[in-house]
Amino acid sequence: MDLALSDLVLKGPLVFLASFLSSFLVMPKVIDFSKRRGFVGRDVHKDGQPVVPEMGGLGILFGVLVGFSAHCLASLKIDVCLVVFTSCILIAGAIGVWDYLKTLSGVMKTLLTVIACAPIVIGWLISPSEVMIGRPELPFVGRLRLTIVYWALLPFVIAVPANAVNMIDAFNGVMPITSIFSVLALLISSLILERWEAVFMCLLLLGALMGFLPYNLYPSRVFAGDVGSLAVGAGIGAIAVLGRLEVVGIVSLMPQIMNAFYVLASVRRLAERKQIAERPTVVLGGNVIAANRSEKAPMSLANLILSKGPLREPDLVKAYAVLSFFSFILALVTACFMVMK
């Protein structure tokens, strides 16, 4: 058996279980902590707008950290790619905490998430043989050698997915469900394309997200908050770059990118949720949500789904899951096209 594959068979389940169990088991503590500190928000899509703890993302960060430590202990060495990946997630999570405490403007938050790509640059400077950037692989075309253009685009590789995942996190369970499909697509693609370094990153993030999911499903006991959504988006961006799966990453994030694109194109600026006067959706009561038909309402993926008619929140989340499943399939087809170069 190939050395990398046997390494994966031995350490993969350990890394996944470590991040899953730690994220799942720590979540009740995170919920208590958030309640005690007053880190709570209102679930605006439910009758009576119940108060829900908002720092669930800390549990995701904890899961990733424990999974990373388990990998280091199992291999008795520190993998540079995994250090870079974990650092990107931690920096984005820290920006999320800062945003939660200080409420940054849309422009400031986007600019700050650019910083989260610093570990990739530092990793490349320290160990260019392990952190390979500037060599993206395209379907049918094969590997490109981009120098100036890739460096010009590098600030966006973390900022775009981080903010896109952040923007989709509006309904119970949507962020972890859509992200799980994206990470699964990257995981299977990295197996197809033999990008072993990306497999462990996917397992780390997948475990942490699956540990968080039961607490965030309808009716949510905890929200991921900016700390969770920015960190997960940054993690997906880092996997795409470090695993040279940029195009697969874009396709796997299609629902998130569609949502962000529609909001930006209709609002025509980077704005924080509270700065937008009209919401894309309206709550009709009985947990039923409808599209806001006002001309001033921004277009979003939820608004587009609900333009067919109102839905209960769990059904709306199912619609997001169906879209994510299709983007998962398209991402796998894209990965297969990359093999057929």
Partner 1 sequence: MKTLKYTVDIIGIMILAWGLMLFLLIVVNNVVVDLRLPIEGFEGSLINNALQLAVGGALFLAWLFVWYKVTVYCRKRRLRLWSRGPQ
Interface residue list for partner 1 (CB under 8 A)? 138-141, 144, 148-149, 247, 250-251, 254-255, 258, 261-262, 265, 291, 293, 299, 301, 303-309, 311, 315, 318-319, 321-323, 326-327, 330, 334, 337
Residue closer to partner 1 (CB basis): 37 or 341: 341
Residue closer to partner 1 (CB basis): 81 or 319: 319
Residue closer to partner 1 (CB basis): 158 or 311: 311
Cis status, amide bond into 310, omega within 30 of 0: no
Q: How far is the CB of 205 from partner 1 (least distance, A)?
A: 23
Residue type for position 268 = R
Q: How far is the CB of 330 from partner 1 (least distance, A)?
A: 5
Residue closer to partner 1 (CB basis): 221 or 318: 318
Residue closer to partner 1 (CB basis): 34 or 259: 259
Q: How far is the CB of 195 from partner 1 (least distance, A)?
A: 19
Q: How far is the CB of 210 from partner 1 (least distance, A)?
A: 22
Residue closer to partner 1 (CB basis): 48 or 140: 140
Q: How far is the CB of 308 from partner 1 (least distance, A)?
A: 5
Q: How far is the CB of 258 from partner 1 (least distance, A)?
A: 7
Cα–Cα distance between 145 and 32 in angstroms, integer? Answer: 50
The values of phi and psi at residue 326, to 5°, are -70, -35
Cα–Cα distance between 21 and 16 in angstroms, integer? Answer: 8
Cα–Cα distance between 302 and 152 in angstroms, integer? Answer: 32
Q: How far is the CB of 278 from partner 1 (least distance, A)?
A: 15
Burial class (CB in 10 A: 0-12, 13-18, 19+), 35: middle
Q: How far is the CB of 252 from partner 1 (least distance, A)?
A: 11
Residue closer to partner 1 (CB basis): 1 or 140: 140
Residue closer to partner 1 (CB basis): 87 or 324: 324
Residue closer to partner 1 (CB basis): 86 or 303: 303
The residues, any chain, with a CB within 8 Å of residue 36's CB and separated by 6 or more, are none
- Tokens read off for 337: 């096209």
Q: How far is the CB of 263 from partner 1 (least distance, A)?
A: 12
Separation of CA 82 from chain center:
17
- Of residues 341, 156, 296, the one with CA closest to residue 240: 156
